[in-house]
Homo-oligomer: A and B are copies of this chain.
Amino acid sequence: MRYSQLFGKTSKSIPSDAESINAKLLTQAGFINKEMSGIYSFLPLGYRVLSKIQQIVREEINLLGGQEILMPVLSSIENWKKTGRDKDWVDVLYRLDNMALNPTHEEVVTPLVQKYTFSYRDLPVAVYQIQEKFRNEPRAKSGLLRGREFNMKDLYSFHKDEKDLNEFYQDAIKAYQSIFNRLGLGKITYLTYASGGSFSKFSHEFQTECVTGEDTIFVCDRCHTAINREIIQEQVMCPDCNSDKLRETKAIEVGNIFKLGTKFTDAFGFSYVDEKGAVKPIIMSCFGLGPSRVMGTLVEVFHDEDGIIWPQSIAPFQIHLVGLAPEAFGVYEQLKKHKLDVLFDDRDDVSAGVKFATADLIGIPIRIVVSKRSIDAGGVEIKNRNSKETSIIPINELDSAILNYGKAR
């Protein structure tokens, strides 16, 4: 893509209403546009990152055995009356006539799965969707971290007994860890014990350590586990190794998983017939992860004074080509021939300094510079935004260099 044709350019001015680092940088760099409080449009750069996050989530949840579906935004308020959450969630639930704009989908997925599930042979079932959620949030002031309309992956699983649920729950924890590893957040994201419900002592959150985080967690560095402040009074030691060497830190909740037991299946009278013909309760779990919130978190974590520094796996383009000499056009064609997804700064009306500032702000980690200097030195300059390392590659060796670059990652 030629930068001159890209919709959504970088801006020098800091948005006056951006209350958070992610809102500020994503707006300045042309990734998102604030439409209303807590409601954003994703411009082409932003949509590319969001899609890549969603795709990583999709691949890992598919591997876990989740089946992708799509449920509607609108649901009947009758479903919410059955579970009592028309009242319990009254503050955040957007209502429209006799309908709700779903803030979560237990009230939709439970009767849906019930329709197709009769006996033990139909269990377990795990279905998920990647879709927009709506919550009337008074505190929608953190960019993509807390929205009134936001993107969510929500997985729901239905089991014949607790043993089956527990096995799936452990597999889901591993799937989440794979997701955060692939997003470059693995090392700083902790499986965090949080308050449970009537069915289990704890629920689990995935908390990403970040100085700007709203949450406080206590990390056991030995187990790479944490405890949410809300339960530290009752749980003063690491639940995994009993260590009391816990480190207090700030974090952003990037996922949460919850054993729901029969709370929702009971409300809808959803049971099954076991091998012996007996009617048994169905127990349920839910697994949330917000791709748009993860996108905001990545920016809170990975940036410097010049802009964003995306992990390569979800950068909006694979390469940022800075064109400062006519030879750049040939290099662009060469990169495209290798099916590489390149953002080519082809502008002829801005200085080299502006182009570098643009690249710094957008934050694609691999940058190729074609300038008179690089041509004189025998080729193109390849830079890595993370390591600041630079090397000169002769143009006629660019093909093999790209292949090696690909292998090294």
A148 contacts B by Cβ under 8 Å: yes
Q: Report the 9 A-B pairs with minimum CB-CB distance, sorted nearest first.
A: A42-B70, A44-B67, A41-B71, A39-B72, A7-B67, A72-B149, A47-B70, A47-B69, A96-B96
From A147, which residue of chain B is reached at the shortest CB distance? Answer: B72
- B interface footprint on A337-349 (CB within 8 Å = 1, 0 otherwise): 0000000000001
A178 contacts B by Cβ under 8 Å: no
A169 to B19 Cα, complex, angstroms: 41
Neighbouring B residues of A125 by C-beta, 8 Å: 7
Decide: B127 and A40 in contact? CB cutoff 8 A: no
A68 contacts B by Cβ under 8 Å: yes
Neighbouring B residues of A50 by C-beta, 8 Å: 70
Neighbouring B residues of A115 by C-beta, 8 Å: 33
Please list 18 pairs of residues, one from A and one from B, whose beta carbons are closer than 8 Å in the complex, sorted by A's number.
Answer: A4-B121, A7-B69, A7-B113, A7-B116, A35-B72, A35-B74, A35-B112, A40-B72, A41-B72, A42-B70, A42-B71, A44-B67, A44-B68, A44-B69, A44-B127, A50-B70, A73-B73, A74-B148
Interface residue ranges of A43-92 to B (CB < 8 Å) = 43-44, 46-47, 50, 67-76
Q: How far is the CB of A345 from chain B (nearest CB, A)?
A: 15
Neighbouring B residues of A33 by C-beta, 8 Å: 112, 115
A94 contacts B by Cβ under 8 Å: yes
Interface residue ranges of A2-26 to B (CB < 8 Å) = 4, 6-9
Neighbouring B residues of A132 by C-beta, 8 Å: 72-73, 132
Q: How far is the CB of A7 from chain B (nearest CB, A)?
A: 5
A44 to B68 Cα, complex, angstroms: 6
Q: How far is the CB of A57 from chain B (nearest CB, A)?
A: 15
What is A's interface to B at a CB cutoff of 8 Å?
4, 6-9, 30, 33, 35-36, 39-44, 46-47, 50, 67-76, 94, 96, 99, 101, 108, 112-113, 115-116, 121, 125, 127, 132, 134, 148-149, 349
Q: How far is the CB of A348 from chain B (nearest CB, A)?
A: 10
When A96-B96, A108-B35 are in contact, do A149 and B74 touch as well, CB less than 8 Å? Answer: yes
Decide: A96 and B99 in contact? CB cutoff 8 A: no
Neighbouring B residues of A116 by C-beta, 8 Å: 7-9, 30
Decide: A41 and B69 in contact? CB cutoff 8 A: yes
Neighbouring B residues of A30 by C-beta, 8 Å: 116
Decide: A7 and B41 in contact? CB cutoff 8 A: no
From A30, which residue of chain B is reached at the shortest CB distance? Answer: B116
Decide: B40 and A69 in contact? CB cutoff 8 A: no
Decide: A112 and B73 in contact? CB cutoff 8 A: no
Neighbouring B residues of A101 by C-beta, 8 Å: 96, 101
Neighbouring B residues of A41 by C-beta, 8 Å: 69-72, 108, 112
Neighbouring B residues of A148 by C-beta, 8 Å: 74
A134 to B101 Cα, complex, angstroms: 12
A37 to B409 Cα, complex, angstroms: 50
Residue from A30, A68, A69, A94 with most neighbouring chain B CB atoms (10 Å): A69
Tell me which of B36, B43, B72 contacts A69 (CB under 8 A).
Answer: B43
From A36, which residue of chain B is reached at the shortest CB distance? Answer: B76
Decide: A67 and B6 in contact? CB cutoff 8 A: yes
Neighbouring B residues of A72 by C-beta, 8 Å: 35, 39-41, 132, 149
A-B contact sample (15 more), CB < 8 A, given A6-B67, A47-B70, A72-B149: A4-B121, A7-B125, A30-B116, A41-B69, A41-B108, A42-B70, A43-B69, A44-B68, A44-B127, A47-B68, A73-B134, A74-B148, A74-B149, A121-B349, A132-B132
Residue from A74, A94, A112 with most neighbouring chain B CB atoms (10 Å): A74
Neighbouring B residues of A4 by C-beta, 8 Å: 121
Q: How far is the CB of A45 from chain B (nearest CB, A)?
A: 10
